[in-house]
A and B are shown apart, each in its own frame.
Chain A
């Protein structure tokens, strides 16, 4: 019956641990391995202008909806300006204001984004645009063209393609010649296209953005055409009429409004710089989840201060060491001094590294043991004797550190990381065993402890495991379940097979 409770408990723990783990992994997108980094793009816009005599107000359109990208963070950088974020007809608008400024001014706005194919943000379905009010003779030209193109197309999509194809045709008809006569930039070209699309009652708008690649000191704004086919927005290359989108296209703003408006300043210039860097995928998952506000993330270890995180990175490995301990003792049957002494020694090995750890540990215990035998002759009472051993251990650590430093071996310094109280207890216990049962038993126990410590050190040092436990601490519940199950293991220990070999009947 108890067996069943244990089984149910273990199952429950595993289920909880695994489901949280899978949720974080699959839904929140926590990566399973550490080195998965996602490229992050930082785009910085610098607005420079000469300040006028009065108050200054700067408005900059900034990214609102960015298909294919997610915002990691953004920050305005300016000296002495008040900052506010507003929503205008063209999307989000950053506004800086100051009562007085002297000389040339520069204001920065920086945004970091990362690629996310699933970042298809919801966009509104626009109403059919009103027919544009156009003066003659342009009105007639537009009407003729729209009728022409409509005859040669089936829907909004093919209409747009056909229109753009005609507009890019080297041999423009007289109507297009007239309409495009004042066009001097790509932006104006697209504006004419949207005007004609509006006349055909197709919602269309200009899209401005960047094609992100590598590091660009002066990134070029690209103007693209966006139409709504009644279902979703589609992007068209204004130069070819193909439905496409530039590679890694970050939409900065939409519409005909100008990017920046400066009141009280002159000689306004806007420059964009793009930089690519790698950021831990965890940071992104955290932010991503933070936007969805999941309590699982609020309680993540990554929300702790960095220094505390480092402590937990070590602490969370102790259960792994304990698991090894259970395995070595209950399944293999290796004897050791003290229940968790080997795990603590293994922790110390993390700092000293294995070879020096074993050397220093052996040295410390051997020296401590010999001094303990000298103390035996003094016939001290138990507690004072234990304290004496502890003090001797501390002194030995000091001596080893100083000696190794003099000899130029800095690894010797890390001896100070050994758990001295545990070592003192080990020395005491070992000396009693040595006297009562002989050196063979004492050395066997010491060797067993060292063996378990080495095994625990190796297991606790697997970096991918360390990362996994730190990112998904709920996996400790699974380890707990394994340990609970092991607590009801009634089979033979590996070494017992040899011990009872005479009883097999052979």
Chain B
């Protein structure tokens, strides 16, 4: 038992206790949390910083505004409903189309039909705080539904794959692609059953994947090979992730990016408590990369410089 712990320590693997005590509590001041916990604020801050984000169609702030839903999506064929303060992808509804004859009938990404009344009930639940981190009343967000880039078409089952990058003091130290599966119900969260694949920071090429803490080579639903895919706009994605540090002020940050077919990379959300599965996806410990950054840290470096340094420092080891 202690032998395993020793080996993990030597491999620089970060544990939850260490992440919480040494990084989140030290580098992420609580007053900055709303910047990432409230997706509406994140979006505004990112826009101000000149980053690309999915367009917001409307916000529902209280129960009374739920009836505005029809009006907000009147001209939209597809959209996403999500709680502003949701965690772990809970409460997200991806609407990919609507019936032409019956305008109040929608189709979800899973193919299931859903009525406007059902969406409104879902909105009420969001506003009531069912999905919020603290259980407090929340706001619901209706935004552009990303049409994902064909690069990942073969390795995702419904839903939208996204790219998670861990940013330590502005340096993007580790990345993975999260691929939805049938089990994850089209969501790109690893604990819901999505596949995570490590990424070589130097080239933006995917490595092997991880499913429920096990290493996998193929997508469980499509059977396509996960490794060796080249992420487009990798340069830009790394730089935007690095910029997330300036936007939020958080020293330990997870930046989630999606690649839209037409609009290119869009920042989807940022996370003050990014998970640790990324280490399994990359077969590498975070702690040793963080240690390296501590050594070469330069407070004056621009986001672009920091992204470049990381691409040189952390190529895939295999």
Contact = CB atoms under 8 A, between A and B. Distances in A.
Interface of A: 330, 333, 379, 381-383, 432, 436-438, 441, 487-494, 496-497, 499-506
B42 to A, nearest CB: 21
B87 to A, nearest CB: 10
Contact of B285 (A330, A432, A501, A503): A503
Contacts of A506: 7
Contacts of A496: 8, 15-16
A493 B16 contact: yes
Contacts of B1: 494, 497
Closest 6 CB pairs of A and B: A382-B128, A490-B18, A492-B15, A504-B7, A379-B121, A497-B4
Nearest to A494: B1
B17 A330 contact: yes
Interface string B40-84: 000000000000000000000001000000000000000000000
Interface of B: 1, 4-5, 7-11, 13, 15-18, 21-22, 63, 90-91, 117-118, 121, 124-125, 128-131, 183, 191-193, 210, 213-215, 276, 279-280, 283-285
A286 B9 CA distance: 53
A437 B5 contact: no
A442 to B, nearest CB: 13
A502 B208 CA distance: 13
A287 B177 CA distance: 72
Contacts of B276: 500
A197 to B, nearest CB: 77
A503 B17 contact: no
B285 A491 contact: no
**Quick one: which of B10, B213, B214 has the most chain A CB within 10 A?**
B213
Contact of B191 (A379, A437, A489): A437
A436 B128 contact: no
Given A381-B128, A504-B4, A499 B213 contact: yes
A491 B21 contact: no
A500 B125 contact: no
A502 B214 contact: yes
Contacts of B213: 499, 502
Contacts, number: 91
A505 B17 CA distance: 22
B15 A490 contact: yes
Given A382-B128, A382-B130, A501 B18 contact: no
9 contacts: A381-B128, A438-B192, A490-B17, A491-B15, A492-B15, A493-B17, A499-B213, A500-B280, A504-B8
A503 B91 CA distance: 32
A506 B215 CA distance: 13
A492 B7 contact: no
A438 B215 CA distance: 22
A500 B16 CA distance: 11
B22 A490 contact: yes
Contacts of B5: 491-492, 497
B15 A383 contact: no
A503 B284 contact: yes
B128 A488 contact: no
Nearest to A501: B4
A488 to B, nearest CB: 6
A352 to B, nearest CB: 29
Nearest to A497: B4
B28 to A, nearest CB: 15
Given A437-B191, A501-B4, A502-B215, A493 B283 contact: no
B5 to A, nearest CB: 5
B90 A500 contact: no
